[in-house]
Structure 1
Amino acid sequence: MSQRRFTQLDSVWPAPLPRRLGALIYDGFLVAAIWIAVAVAHVAFFRFVVGQGAEEIGTSGVEVWTLRLLLVCSAIGFFAFSWTRGGMTLGMQSWRLRVETVDGYSITVWQSVVRCLVAWVSFTALGLGYWWVLFDRERRSWPDLVSGTRTVVVPKESS
């Protein structure tokens, strides 16, 4: 998939922390819904395809680790799909945020994966990777810095 150039590049500005947190909360609900669907499918697979009894499901290491892997991959897939297509997740659309390269293009799948992995590190460091926005001149978070991207506010569309 080729990168597309975004429009209105002169009208965007770096996203402040409150907007980022708002979008993060919205997207957290979406990821939770995705995770519920993945967990239900995982349990159904082991119950009806593998033929395990209800009391056996989730007792082996294979089941636990496959579910964890599926949850991580589904979250990364959600963000990568959204960011590479239009630069926005549904939560970001609500807050008028967009992720783009520093040159104003849609980001690559690799940049999306890097952003997701660094986001986990940012959270586990007590959110420091996002608090970084308050100290960076260009309001970049750790995921922005490491992936070579930026998160911007897009202007309201004129009607």
Structure 2
Amino acid sequence: MASTSGSTRPSALIGWRVLALVYDLWPVVAMWMVASLVFTVGYTLSGHASRENIAPFSALQWGLWLVCWLITGAYALLSWRRGGQTLGMRPWRLKVVAADGVSAPGLRALMLRFAVGTASLLLAGSGFWWAWVDRERLTWHDRASGTRMVRLAKR
């Protein structure tokens, strides 16, 4: 897909996507830390010693992982719905759009994009690296959700 500035090169190269992910990691980690604090305080208030570790693979630990995943999803979905961009996508001028390259995608498409993107990351990022061999430079979550990431022209 050509960029919106009339260039013939792909609009959202994998490098730009990785930079946006790294940038987005920081606000998400801050939200995870708040969630972890709430879980830790709750664990301590439920009668456990303040220095007692949460048992590995316990329901509480899986619950924390689920809450962190939901926080990340809420951050991404709200950002994409509000303007097609997360905080990390703005400096690199990236935007999520529908398959037509112009209109905003629906909530269902964005939820599917997040779910498949999560699976892509869990499989060592293979869904992202797929963009290197794809003719249109699309990732697995682009294809599955019918969305595209485009690079906006400089103002």
Normalising by structure 1, report the TM-score: 0.82
Q: What amino acid is aligned across from residue 123 of structure 1 in structure 2?
A: L
Residue 3 of structure 1 corresponds to none
Alignment of 1:129-140 (within 5 A): 129-140=127-138
Alignment of 1:53-132 (within 5 A): 53-56=49-52, 58-59=54-55, 61-103=58-100, 104-132=102-130
Q: Distance in 1 between matches of 2:127 and 2:51?
A: 41
Cα offsets for 1:54-78 (capped at 9, x unmatched) = 1456238231122111011111111
Stretches (4+) displaced over 4 A: none
Q: Distance in 2 between matches of 1:72 and 1:39?
A: 12
Cα offsets for 1:80-100 (capped at 9, x unmatched) = 111111100000001100001
Task: Report the Cα offset of residue 32 of structure 1.
Answer: 1.5
Give aligned pairs, total.
148
Q: Contact between 2:4 and 2:152, CA under 8 Å: does it hold in 1?
A: no
Q: Distance in 2 between matches of 1:20 and 1:119?
A: 12
Q: Distance in 1 between matches of 2:52 and 2:103?
A: 49
1:140 counterpart SS class: coil
- For structure 1, which segment, 19-28 or 98-107, has the greater mean C-alpha deviation from structure 2 after superposition? 98-107
Q: Contact between 1:43 and 1:57, CA under 8 Å: does it hold in 2?
A: no
5+ residue gaps, structure 2: none
Q: Contact between 1:14 and 1:138, CA under 8 Å: does it hold in 2?
A: no
Normalising by structure 2, report the TM-score: 0.84
Q: What amino acid is aligned across from residue 29 of structure 2 in structure 1?
A: A
Measured on the aligned residues, the alpha-carbon RMSD in Å equals 2.1
Task: Report the Cα offset of residue 121 of structure 1.
Answer: 1.9
Q: Contact between 1:85 and 1:106, CA under 8 Å: does it hold in 2?
A: no
Q: What amino acid is aligned across from residue 80 of structure 1 in structure 2?
A: L
Question: Could you say which structure has the higher helix fraction?
Answer: 1
- For structure 1, which segment, 30-39 or 12-21, has the greater mean C-alpha deviation from structure 2 after superposition? 12-21
5+ residue gaps, structure 1: 1-8
Cα gap change, 1:52 to 1:23, in 2 (>3 Å): same
Residue 44 of structure 1 corresponds to 41
Q: Distance in 1 between matches of 2:108 and 2:48?
A: 37
